[in-house]
């Protein structure tokens, strides 16, 4: 298998753009393509999950409401039973006092005052029966009423709540879709370059492949024939072999890309970078000879082959 160095440039551009946009969910062009393919399904899954979570939330509240209702009923029944028992005892005491025969006027007056007091307490308890029960069960009743209101509000506004919860997630999903759509030309390029790399990897380990090979020159290389000053070059795939160095440019063609006047011809790109490589590797004027002199390749002239796809 050929030795491979460097990452495909379009993949680096895609990763850089995704990082700048704050998107970290993709790890390959396959992930990107699957996202576009399953975009509508993902929207449906979001809706389904939010509906499921909403119904589960409502169900949990209803169970909680049932428990609170049971606790309230138990507390209310206990309070009523206790208060009724107290009133019953007061009634019995009043009946007993009213039936007692006093031995003298003082005792009769004392029994009468005691009876009046007990009758007054009994009257107040009977008159305020519901209020007393409400006070004793107030905390439990408030908790029960609060959860009932929450349940009723959720049930009455189910669709609007689900739509609201979906909206923020749909906005994020649409944002990601717009970014990925803008990356389509890069994705197409990455797919093409990746296919080339996979084919070149099949070569033996005597081959060395450099992806996204680039050089910049302090002193531009002048191509007299093209009247072009070359300040830098970028090569999609640079294959180093015993037979020479191969400059491979990858393009995914489309009618739109062919028609674009601002797109540099791939043939021109290859000729330009290949010329610069030839000069660098074979001309002492460009400062390459001091590297080659100390290299085990010796002073042999290195041919630069032009391939384009």
At 117, is the pLDDT very low, low, confident or very high (cuts 50, 70, 90)?
A: very high
State the maximum Cα–Cα separation within the chain, in Å, rounded to a whole number: 145
50's tokens:
């939010």
Domain boundaries, the chain: 43-169, 206-308
At 19, is the pLDDT very low, low, confident or very high (cuts 50, 70, 90)?
A: very high
At 308, is the pLDDT very low, low, confident or very high (cuts 50, 70, 90)?
A: very low
Q: Which residues contact 177 (CB under 8 A, 6 or more apart)?
A: 35, 36, 39
Question: pTM of the predicted model, to two decimals?
Answer: 0.64
pLDDT in tens, 279-293: 877 765 544 444 344
User: In whole angstroms, what is the distance from residue 105 CA to residue 111 CA?
Assistant: 10
| Spatial strand order in the sheet of 304-308 | 3-5, 208-223, 228-241, 244-249, 304-308
Residue 212, Ramachandran bin (φ over 0: left; ψ between -120 and 50: alpha; else beta): left
pLDDT greater than 80 at residue 299 = no
pLDDT in tens, 235-247: 888 899 888 888 8
What are the beta bridge partners of residue 97? none
Mean pLDDT score, 177-205: 90
Query: Which letter does DSSP use for residue 284 in this model?
Result: G
| 233, 215 contact by CB (below 8 A) | yes
pLDDT greater than 50 at residue 296 = no
pLDDT of residue 60: 97
pLDDT greater than 80 at residue 263 = no
pLDDT of residue 260: 59
- For 69-103, b where at least 16 C-beta lie within 10 A, e where not — what string? eeebeebbeebbeebeeebeebeebbeebeeeeee
pLDDT of residue 255: 59
Q: Which has the higher per-residue pLDDT, 100 or 150?
A: 150
Q: Which has the higher per-residue pLDDT, 19 or 224?
A: 19
pLDDT of residue 309: 42
Beta strands in 224-289 (DSSP E): 228-241, 244-249
Q: Which has the higher per-residue pLDDT, 150 or 9?
A: 150
pLDDT of residue 104: 86
> Taking the CA atoms of the chain, what radius of gyration do you get in angstroms?
44
pLDDT in tens, 46-93: 999 999 999 999 999 999 999 999 999 999 999 999 999 999 999 999
At 250, is the pLDDT very low, low, confident or very high (cuts 50, 70, 90)?
A: confident
């Amino acid at each position: 298998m050929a030795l491979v160095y460097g990452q495909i440039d379009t993949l680096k551009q895609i990763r850089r753009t995704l990082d700048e946009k704050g998107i970290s969910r993709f790890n390959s062009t396959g992930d990107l393509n699957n996202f576009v393919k399953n975009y509508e399904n993902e929207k449906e899954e979001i809706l389904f999950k939010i509906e499921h979570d909403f119904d589960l939330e409502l169900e949990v509240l209803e169970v909680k409401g049932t428990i609170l209702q049971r606790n309230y009923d138990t507390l209310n029944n206990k309070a009523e039973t206790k208060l009724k028992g107290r009133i019953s005892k007061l009634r019995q005491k009043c009946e007993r006092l009213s039936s007692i025969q006093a031995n003298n006027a003082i005792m009769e007056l004392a029994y009468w005052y005691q009876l009046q007091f007990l009758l007054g307490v009994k009257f107040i308890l009977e008159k305020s029966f519901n209020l007393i029960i409400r006070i004793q069960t107030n905390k439990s009743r408030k908790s029960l009423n609060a959860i009932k209101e929450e349940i009723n509000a959720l049930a009455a506004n189910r669709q609007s709540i689900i739509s609201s919860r979906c909206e923020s997630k749909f906005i994020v999903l649409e944002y990601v879709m717009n970014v990925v759509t803008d990356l389509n030309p890069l994705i197409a390029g990455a797919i093409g370059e990746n296919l080339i790399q996979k084919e070149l990897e099949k070569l033996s380990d005597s081959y060395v492949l450099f992806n996204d090979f680039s050089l910049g020159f302090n002193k531009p290389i002048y191509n007299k024939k093209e009247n072009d000053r070359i300040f830098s070059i970028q090569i999609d795939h640079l294959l180093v072999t015993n037979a020479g160095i191969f400059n491979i440019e990858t393009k995914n063609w489309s009618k739109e890309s062919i028609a674009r006047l601002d797109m540099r011809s791939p043939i021109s790109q290859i000729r330009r970078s290949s010329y610069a490589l030839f000069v660098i590797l074979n001309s002492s004027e460009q400062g390459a000879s001091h590297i080659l002199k100390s290299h085990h390749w010796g002073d042999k002239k290195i041919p630069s082959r032009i391939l384009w796809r």
